[in-house]
Every structure is written in C-alpha cells, then in structure tokens.
Structure 1
Amino acid sequence: MKAKFLLIVVVSLALSACAGKPTQPDPGTQTAQAMYQQAKEVLDNGLYNRAVELLQAVESRYPFGPLARQVQLDLIYAYYKSGNLPQALASIDRFIRLNPNQPDLDYVYYMRGLANLKADENSFQEFFGIDRADRDLSSTRQAFDDFKILVTNYPASKYSTEAKKRMVQIKDTLARHELMIADYYMRRGAYLAAANRGKYVVEYYRDSPHVEQALEVMVESYDKLGLDKLKTDTFKVLKHNFPANNRF
C-alpha cells in the first residue's frame, strides 16, 4: 500500500514539473508562413548563411505551397550574398526552366547577370587596384548577355536602367581585354592576330572609348605585315573619327 502511495506521489511530481516548464514551439508544427517570416527576418538582417539554412528548410517542407516561388527567389539572393555563386546560378537556371512565364523573371535575369559578373571578380586584386582586364572573362561575357536579355525582353523593368549601366561597364572591360591580348600578340610578332583583335573591338564595341587604340593597333599591324591598302584604309578611318590623333 505504501509503495502504491509513493508511486502516485512520484507521478504527480513529474506531471507538476512538466506543467511548470514553458512549452517550446515544435518546428514540425510551424506553418509555412511562420517559417518563412523567420527566414525573411534573418535575411533582412544580413545573416545570409543562416537565411540559406532557414529558406532551404521552408522549401524542403513546403515545396509546392503558395510561398514556394518567393522562397526560391529569396534563396537566389541569399546564395548570391553569401558568396555561393555556383548554387545561386544553379538555382537561377532551375527557376527560369520551371517558370518560363513568371512575372519576376526580370529580377532573376538581373541576379544572373550580377552572379556571373561577380564570378569573374578577384577580391584580392580589386582591393589592391590591379587591372583585371587580362583575366578570363567568360562569365563576364555571360553577364552581358544576361543583362541584354533583361533590357530587351523587359524594357519597363525597374532593373533595366541599372542593367544598361552594367552593360556599358562590361563593354569597356571587354574592349580593354581584347586590346591587352592584341598587345601580347604585337610584342610576339603575331601581327595578324593583333590586327584581328583590334578589328573585333571596332566592330563589336564601336561606342567604346577604346576604338581609337584599336584602330592604331590595326594600322601598325597592317604596316608590319606589308598590307598597304588595309593600312591606308584603316588610317583614313582613324583620322576621320579621331582627327587629333598624331601617333602616325
């Protein structure tokens, strides 16, 4: 009888202790809206790695809910800001593939342009002011195409103006890149290759401030090659467009 009484007392105490503890929300019972709101607050506070974790959890638990697309868009941004560019680009391509008619595609293409542009950056060289125009620029070229898609297909987008500015900057970088390669060829006596690089700048970056230098490269290269007519014709173009030029 005494043992039975003690058992009742122990159970009562255990229940009282449980009742006295504050209840914690079970993550498994959180709604999609609550989970997303928590992730959004973390994202807005700039904690991008943590935001990625929380947004991934929302996407995993509610992959087809009403917030699914917004979660995917926020994930793209969080990946980009956290420096995980491969995952950002993979998420962007997946979003475009699965949502070809989504009204937010202008933003997605803008983010793809930014991610591709950032993929070619080198923070160490940026910090010390080293000219990076001589590096591989395949991602930068892709960024130009991304911004071009945005400007062409979504001219009224609020991202269109910034995209145009980015395109001008990219064209300047690409033109300098071509001229650095041309200089490399000139110093090694590969004059035809150098002339072709200059010609490429004139044809594809004609509104670039580097066209004058590109024409100079062409004139000098044709002179070295003994191509007098091409040299003369190019020189005329140079003097017509840049009458103050006195290199030759």
Structure 2
Amino acid sequence: MNYRTLSSLLALSLLFGCSSSDEIVPDVPASELYTDAQSSLRSGNWLTAVEKLEALDSRYPFGPYSEQVQLDLIYAYYKNGDLPLALATIERFTRLNPTHSRMDWVLYMRGLSHMAQDQNYMHNIFNIDRSDRDPEPVKSAFTDFKRLLQRYPNSAFAADAEKRMHALKNRLANYDLASADFYLRREAWIAAINRCQELQKTYPDTEAARKSLEIQLEAYKQLGLTDAVARTEELMKLNPI
C-alpha cells in the first residue's frame, strides 16, 4: 500500500470518527470535553489528548470547536509520533480550510511531520549513519518548508523553516554522495560520475558536493580520461574539504 492510499484511508477514518475513542471517553458536553483535551495538551499527555480530541471530532464534527480540534489533533498526533495520522489530518484541514489564518502553521507542521518520518530512534542512539535511507520524506519536508517561505515570508515559523531547509539540504546531498559511492564500489564509473555532477549542480554549497569530487576523480581515472582527471583535480584545489 503506497503512502497516498494510506493517507486517504486514514483521512476517511478521521472523517467517520474513531470508535475506540468514543468507547474510552465519557459522554460529556462538548465544552467539558474540550477543556479536558486542552488540559491534556498542556500537561503533555498526548495519548489522552488524542483520545479526547478524536471523540470531540467524531461527536461534534460541525460544532464550535471543530476547526480548533483539527489543529490540536495535528499537534497531538505529531507529538505522539502518529505521523501518518498527523499528515492525514493536515490534508483534510487544508482541503476544508484553504484560506485559514493559521495555514502557515499547518504547512510548518506538515514539514515537521515529514521530517520526523526520516528519523529512527535506534539509529540515533547508536549513531548509525543512514545516508542511504530513502530520502522521499526529506524531499517532502524540504518542499513544505520552501512553500512556507514563499507563501508566508513574514510567518513566525519562517526563520526556523529556513534553518531546517539547510539541514535537509545536507541530508539530501549526503544521500546523493552515498549513491555515488555505491556506484563507484560497483565499478559503475559513468553512473558514479553522473551522480556526482548532479550533486554538485543541485547542492553546490555542501560538504557532500566537495567530497563527491574525490569519487568523480577516481571514476575518471578508471576510465582513463586524463583531461577530465586534470579538470577535477583543479576543482578539488579550488574547493578543499
């Protein structure tokens, strides 16, 4: 099942409510349930907040708290690590409220949720380099933050989004570097050169771009292209690591 299908199914489940939350959360007035949900959010009890917000969403889909409940669900899902649900809720909210005053925040949370999909707790603990990991969530996050800066340059989240884009750019550059090294080790010289040159063109101001010159140099040597070797060596002098 691909991501879009999963998101659609999750969005449908949100639209029709979550029976498990209805069973767990007492049947109290919307105002009381909303107050309880806010208390859970403030205390960082994300799972309880999710249960109460889901109950509100299913019981009072057109109530006075409807839009705020959706925004709170996005945040609670994200903090609870329910990233597909966060993204599905963002998709739903954006579709229903395209001109909402907090769309900059929604777009920011979309970027954060995509970015979080690239992280792995065990890899972080053991400091395992996974530059070769699928970069699609990173590309999506980069696009989200870029769109935020383009649409809402004065947003309170713009500065942080720009910083995150810098980190994401390095992540994507390192992925291309790992791919070029993969081709080099398998003696696919042309593929290694092509990936290096694409990296240098797309992310010229990264350390990975400078490192890729070493791979490019070795591939040219293996092909016996002396002129290309000389040009690459000159580039390495101009762009030291």
TM-score computed with the length of structure 1 as normaliser = 0.81
- Alignment partners' CA distance in 1, 2:155 and 2:181: 40
Matched, 1:52 2:61: no
Q: Which residue of 2 aligns with 1:216?
A: 214
Which one of 29, 52, 73 corresponds to residue 71 of structure 2?
Answer: 73
Q: SS at the partner of 2:130?
A: coil
Segments of 4+ moved more than 6 angstroms: none
Structure 1 segments unaligned to the other structure (5+ residues): 1-26
Q: Which residue of 2 aligns with 1:163?
A: 161
Match of 1:105 in 2: 103
Counterpart secondary structure, 1:42? helix
Deviation at residue 232 of structure 1 after TM alignment? 3.6
Whole-Å separation in 2 of the counterparts to 1:29 and 1:83: 27
Deviations 1:13-56 (A, max 9, x none): xxxxxxxxxxxxxx6561x3332111110111111111111111
Name the CA distance, whole Å, in 2 between partners of 1:147 and 1:179. Answer: 23
Of 59-68 and 92-101, the range deviating more from structure 2:
59-68
Name 1:177's counterpart in structure 2.
Answer: 175
> How much is the aligned-residue C-alpha RMSD, in angstroms?
1.7
The answer for the alignment partner of 1:154 in structure 2 is: 152
Match of residue 189 from structure 2: 191
Note the 1:109-148 alignment, pairs <5 A.
109-148=107-146
Equivalent pairs: percent with the same residue? 45
Letter of the 1:120 counterpart = D
Instruction: Return the letter of the residue paired with 1:100.
Output: P
Q: For residues 97 and 72 of structure 1, what CA distance do their matches in structure 2 show?
A: 12
SS in 1 for 2:207: coil
Separation in 1 of the partners of 2:183 and 2:66? 52
Q: What is the letter of the counterpart of residue 32 of structure 2?
A: A
Give the Cα separation in 2 of the matches to 1:189 and 1:235.
20
Residue of structure 1 aligned with 2:94, choices 79, 89, 96: 96
> Equivalents in 1 of 2:109, 2:131: separation in Å?
22
Distance 1:42 1:29, change over 3 A: closer
Per the TM alignment, residue 225 of structure 1 is displaced from its structure 2 partner at its CA by: 2.2
> 2:215 and 2:96 mapped to 1: Cα distance?
47
- Structure 1 residue identity aligned to 2:121: S
3-state SS of 2:204 partner: coil
The residue number in structure 1 matching 2:236 is 238
AA aligned to 1:33 is: S
Give the SS at the match of 1:210. Answer: helix
The alpha-carbon distance between structure 1 residues 42 and 184, as it changes in their structure 2 partners (threshold 3 A), is: same
Higher relative contact order (CA 8 A, sep 6+): 2
Code of the residue aligned with 1:163 in structure 2: it is: A
Q: Could you say which residue in structure 2 is the equivalent of 1:225? A: 223
Match of 1:20? none
* CA–CA distance in structure 1, aligned partners of residues 117 and 154 of structure 2: 27
Question: Matched residues in 1 for 2:227 and 2:63: separation?
Answer: 68
**Distance of aligned partners of 1:42 and 1:170 in 2 relative to their CA distance in 1, 3 Å threshold:** same
Stretches of structure 2 that go unaligned for 5 or more consecutive residues are 1-25
How far residue 128 of structure 1 moved from its aligned partner, in angstroms, is 1.0
Partner deviation per Cα, 1:160-179 (whole Å, 9 max, x = no partner):
11111111111111111111
1:21-40 aligned at under 5 Å gives the runs 28=27, 30=29, 32-40=30-38
SS where residue 120 of structure 1 aligns? coil
CA distance in 2, matches of 1:234, 1:99: 52
For residue 6 of structure 2, what is the aligned residue in structure 1?
none
Question: Which protein shows a greater Rg?
Answer: 1
CA separation of 1:48/1:29 partners in 2, compared to 1, >3 Å: closer, same or farther? closer
Give the TM-score normalised by structure 2.
0.83
